C-alpha cells in the first residue's frame, strides 16, 4: 500500500487555483504530497495553497502563465526553492469557449490551443529539462477531457485541443520513458467547476426562450447518467493522485476516462 502514498513528493499543478486544480491539490495532499498551486491568477493560487495549509498540509502558490516559457521556468524555480524539488507535474490549466463553427475566429482557435496544447507542451519541456539537470526521475499527468473522445458541438477548438493532449501524452510517454519519466492523462466528464458553469450559462443564453433550461436543470442532466450528478473535482483528483504514485508505474501513455462510464467503451 506504500506505493499509493505520495509522502515526500512535490506535486506542481498548473491552473491549481481553481476547480479541478484544487480538487487535485486536495487529493494529492491527503496522500502526503506537498502541493504547488501554479496559476496565472495568483490570488486564486494563494487561496488554494492557504486552504491546504489550514488543514495542516504543505502547500505553496506560484505565479505561472503556461503560455510563457520564462514564466514556467520561474514558477518551477520558485517551487524548487520552496520544497527542494518537483517530482510530479500535473498539466491542468485550460480554457474553453462555446462557439459555433461560424463564430470561431483565428484568434479564438489560437487562444484555446495556446493554453491547452502549446502551454502543456512547454510545461513538459521545462519540467523535463529541470529533471535532467538534477538527474531525477518524475511523473507527468495531463488533464485531457472526454471531449477528446466523444466531442461536443459548439466547441470544435476545445475538442481538437483535448484530442491533441491525448496524442501528446502518448508521444511524450514513449520519448520520456527512457529517462524514468512516466506520462499519463485523464479524460474527465462534466466536473462541477467554473468552466462548466460558463458552458451552462452559454447554453441557457442560446436556448430558445420557450425551452430555456435553468442552471439546476443542467446540473441535474449534464453529469454522467450512471452517477446522476456532476463529478466533483476531488474525485478526478484521486485518479490523478494514483497516476502520480509509484503504484501506477506500470501504466504508461494512457488517457483514462474519469466519467462513471459515460464515454462509450
Ligand atoms: N470542468 C469540466 O467539466 C472539465 C471536464 C474535462 C476536462 N476539464 C479540464 O480540466 C482543466 C481544469 O478546468 P476547470 O474546469 O477546473 O476550469 P477552471 O476555469 O475552474 O480552472 C482553470 C484554471 O486554469 C487557470 N489558467 C487559465 N489560463 C492559464 C494560463 N495561461 N496559465 C496558468 N493557468 C491558467 C485559470 O486561472 C484557472 O485557475 C482544464 O484543462 C479543462 O479543460 C474540465
* The three grid cell numbers given for residue 232, joined into one nine-digit string: 466533483
Distance (Å) from CA 2 to ligand 1 centroid:
31
State yes or no: is 265 an active-site residue.
Answer: no
pLDDT at 124: 98
Could you give the C-alpha distances from 193 to 20, 144, 189, 227, 258, in angstroms and in order?
7, 15, 12, 17, 15
- With beta carbons less than 8 A apart as the criterion, state whether 178 and 134 touch: no
pLDDT in the model for residue 252: 98
State the cell numbers at 159.
475538442
Q: Which position among 158, 160, 187, 239 bears the catalytic label?
A: 158
CA of 207 to the centre of ligand 1 (A): 25
Task: Kindly tell me if the per-residue pLDDT of 265 is higher than 90.
Answer: no
The band of 220, judged by pLDDT with boundaries at 50, 70 and 90, is very high
Distance from Cα 28 to the centre of ligand 1, integer Å = 18
- Beta-bridge mates of residue 181: 138
Tell which atom from ligand 1 comes closest to the C-alpha of 198.
19
Sheet bearing 138-143, strands edge to edge: 59-63, 34-39, 10-14, 88-91, 138-143, 181-188, 255-258
Report d(CA 29, CA 241) in Å as an integer.
9
* pLDDT for 134: 96
pLDDT score for 25: 98
Integer Cα distance of 140 and 118 in angstroms: 15
Place of cell 489560437: 110
**Non-local CB neighbours of 166 within 8 Å, separated by 6+ positions:** 144, 148, 149, 185, 187, 255
Question: Which residue of 193, 230, 233 sits with most ligand 1 atoms within 8 Å of its CB, as the best mutation to test the pocket?
Answer: 193
Atom of ligand 1 nearest to the CA of 18: 39
pLDDT of residue 183: 98
Ligand 1 pocket: which residues have CB below 6 Å? Answer: 14-15, 17-21, 39-41, 44, 64-67, 92-95, 115, 119, 143, 145, 188, 190-191, 193-196
Calculate how far, in angstroms, residue 24's C-alpha sits from the geometric centre of ligand 1: 12
168 with 176: CB under 8 angstroms?
no
pLDDT at 264 over 90: no
Among the listed residues 106, 93, 91, 223, the one whose alpha carbon sits nearest the alpha carbon of residue 157? 106
Percent of the chain with pLDDT over 90: 97
pLDDT at 246: 97
Atom of ligand 1 nearest to the CA of 21: 16
End-to-end CA distance of the chain: 29
* 69-84 pLDDT per residue, tens: 999 999 999 999 999 9
Cβ atoms of 136 and 179 within 8 Å: the answer is: no
> What's the DSSP call for residue 231?
B
pLDDT(187) > 90: yes
Question: pLDDT tens digits for 109-160?
Answer: 999 999 999 999 999 999 999 999 999 999 999 999 999 999 999 999 999 9
- DSSP secondary structure string for all residues of 172-224: HHHHHGGGTEEEEEEEE-SBSSHHHHHHHHHHHHHS-GGGPPPHHHHHHHSS-
Residue 40 has pLDDT above 90, yes or no: yes
Amino acid at each position: 500500500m506504500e506505493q499509493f502514498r505520495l509522502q515526500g513528493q512535490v506535486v506542481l499543478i498548473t491552473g491549481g487555483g481553481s476547480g479541478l486544480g484544487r480538487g487535485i491539490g486536495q487529493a494529492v495532499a491527503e496522500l502526503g504530497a506537498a502541493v504547488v498551486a501554479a496559476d496565472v491568477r495568483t490570488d486564486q493560487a494563494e487561496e488554494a495553497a492557504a486552504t491546504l495549509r489550514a488543514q495542516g498540509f504543505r502547500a505553496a502558490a506560484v505565479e505561472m502563465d503556461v503560455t510563457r516559457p520564462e514564466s514556467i521556468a520561474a514558477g518551477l524555480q520558485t517551487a524548487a526553492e520552496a520544497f527542494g524539488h518537483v517530482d510530479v507535474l500535473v498539466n491542468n490549466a485550460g480554457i474553453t469557449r462555446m462557439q459555433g463553427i461560424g463564430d470561431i475566429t483565428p484568434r479564438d482557435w489560437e487562444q484555446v490551443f495556446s493554453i491547452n496544447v502549446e502551454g502543456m507542451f512547454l510545461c513538459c519541456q521545462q519540467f523535463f529539462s529541470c529533471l535532467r539537470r538534477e538527474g531525477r526521475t518524475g511523473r507527468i499527468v495531463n488533464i485531457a477531457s472526454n471531449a477528446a473522445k466523444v466531442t461536443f458541438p459548439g466547441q470544435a477548438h476545445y475538442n481538437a485541443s483535448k484530442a491533441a493532449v491525448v496524442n501528446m501524452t502518448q508521444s511524450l510517454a514513449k520519448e520520456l520513458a527512457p529517462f524514468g519519466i512516466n506520462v499519463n492523462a485523464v479524460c474527465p466528464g462534466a466536473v462541477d467547476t467554473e468552466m462548466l458553469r460558463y458552458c451552462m450559462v452559454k447554453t441557457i443564453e442560446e436556448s430558445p426562450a420557450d425551452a430555456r433550461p435553468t442552471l439546476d436543470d443542467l446540473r441535474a442532466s449534464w453529469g454522467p447518467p450512471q452517477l446522476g450528478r456532476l463529478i466533483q473535482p476531488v474525485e478526478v483528483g484521486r485518479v490523478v493522485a494514483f497516476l502520480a504514485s509509484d503504484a501506477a508505474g506500470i501504466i504508461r501513455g494512457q488517457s483514462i476516462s474519469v466519467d462513471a462510464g459515460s464515454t462509450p467503451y
